[in-house]
Amino acid sequence: MERLVLRRKEFMLLQAFIYEHIGISLGDHKIYLVQARLAKRVKHLGLESFGAYYDFLVADKQGGELEYLSSLISTNVTSFFREEKQWEFLKAHLPSLLAKRGGKLRIWSAACSSGEEPYSLAMFFKEHAPRDKTYDIKILATDVSAKVLKMAMKGFYLPKVCSTVPSNYLHTYFSCVEHEGQRGYAVNENLKKMVLFREFNLVTGNYALFEQTSFDIIFCRNVMIYFDKPTQNSLVEKFYALLNKEGYLFIGSSEALTDMKKGFQSRSASIYQKV
């Protein structure tokens, strides 16, 4: 099959479209990456050029292709209990947080990918909130990609994906099952019940949906790196508004708020608190 070449003009159209609709800011040097990631999709759709793919995207009013495009452009890499130090911090601060909030915590995993992050949060709270008390702890988990959300809701993971889950947690919160001919681990219902999955685009999403909501903890890890500074800034402002006083914002270890801290105080590497 003939190799598809992404022309500069076509790249510029896609670059602007991706920025406007997904919020991801692609530098000019990303032309080869975009070509490599999208070529298979363009061919699969039977289109003869990237320009035709751009027209297809613009004409797609349902947004299904936009969602597909976002999963091709951004990475969904994630893992259970990613960034160990942040979990240690959370463990140390959980008692005071629970006391302050009267045992009611609302958490948002804002780019949850295939579910490892929100399920880690759910396991964490089940393990570390004192067992002699009743708590009301709920996790909202959102992502722009319907594809990863489907995986998250299914909650089935291969053994290698579960390698960072402590074996006693695996025993307590998962069942060993066979799914589509593969053995793996399925998240138990009692854990699933703590997590509500929804599709939400952090950049173009309607934040009015959160009008009645506030959070004690927001995890927005390893996604802001794809956004440019103004987009990151406006996101941090939204997180600030959505957090309760003394609530925490966790970001990825390769990210930092530096010049856009707003009213946040840095508490540890990549952990900020609303003061």
Ligand X SMILES: C[S@@+](CC[C@H](N)C(=O)[O-])C[C@H]1O[C@@H](n2cnc3c(N)ncnc32)[C@H](O)[C@@H]1O
Q: Report how far apart, in Å, the C-alpha atoms of 228 and of each of 23, 143, 231, 234 are.
A: 8, 18, 5, 10
For 204-220, b where at least 16 C-beta lie within 10 A, e where not — what string?
A: ebeeeebeeeebbbbbb
For ligand X, the closer CB: 98 or 242: 242
CB of 29 to ligand X, least distance (A): 20
Residues 207/235, Cβ–Cβ less than 8 Å: no
The answer to whether 143 contacts ligand X (rule: CB under 6 A) is yes
The answer to whether 18 contacts ligand X (rule: CB under 6 A) is no
Active-site residue (options: 37, 41, 101, 267): 37
The answer to whether 203 contacts ligand X (rule: CB under 6 A) is yes
Interface residue with ligand X, options 20, 55, 64, 75 (CB under 6 A): 75
Interface residue with ligand X, options 15, 35, 74, 232 (CB under 6 A): 74
Q: How many residues bind ligand X (CB under 6 A)?
A: 25
Helical segments of the chain, H only: 8-21, 31-44, 50-59, 64-73, 84-100, 116-128, 146-154, 167-173, 189-192, 229-242
Residue that the structure tokens 């138990």 belong to: 188
- 20-59 mask for ligand X (x: CB under 6 A)? --xx------------------------------------
- Residues in the chain, total: 275
Selection from 30, 62, 65 nearest residue 45 by Cα: 65
Lookup: tokens for 14: 């896609």
The answer to whether 76 contacts ligand X (rule: CB under 6 A) is yes
CB of 91 to ligand X, least distance (A): 18
Any catalytic annotation for residue 28? Answer: no
For ligand X, the closer CB: 143 or 216: 143
For ligand X, the closer CB: 23 or 184: 23
Active-site residue (options: 106, 143, 216, 221): 143
CB of 165 to ligand X, least distance (A): 14
Any catalytic annotation for residue 37? Answer: yes
Interface residue with ligand X, options 42, 111, 217, 271 (CB under 6 A): 111
H/E segment holding residue 156? strand 156-157
The answer to whether 223 contacts ligand X (rule: CB under 6 A) is yes
For 85-105, b where at least 16 C-beta lie within 10 A, e where not — what string?
A: ebbebbeebbeebbeebeeeb
Those residues whose C-beta lies under 8 Å from the C-beta of residue 162, and which sit 6 or more positions away, are 80, 170, 174, 184, 185
Residue that the structure tokens 């009301």 belong to: 136
For ligand X, the closer CB: 35 or 222: 222
CB of 2 to ligand X, least distance (A): 30
The answer to whether the Cα torsion of 258, 262, 268, 270 is positive or negative is: negative
**Which residues would be at the binding site for ligand X (CB under 6 A)?**
22-23, 70-71, 74-78, 82, 111, 113, 117, 143-145, 148, 201-203, 221-223, 226, 252
Q: Which residues are catalytic?
A: 37, 143
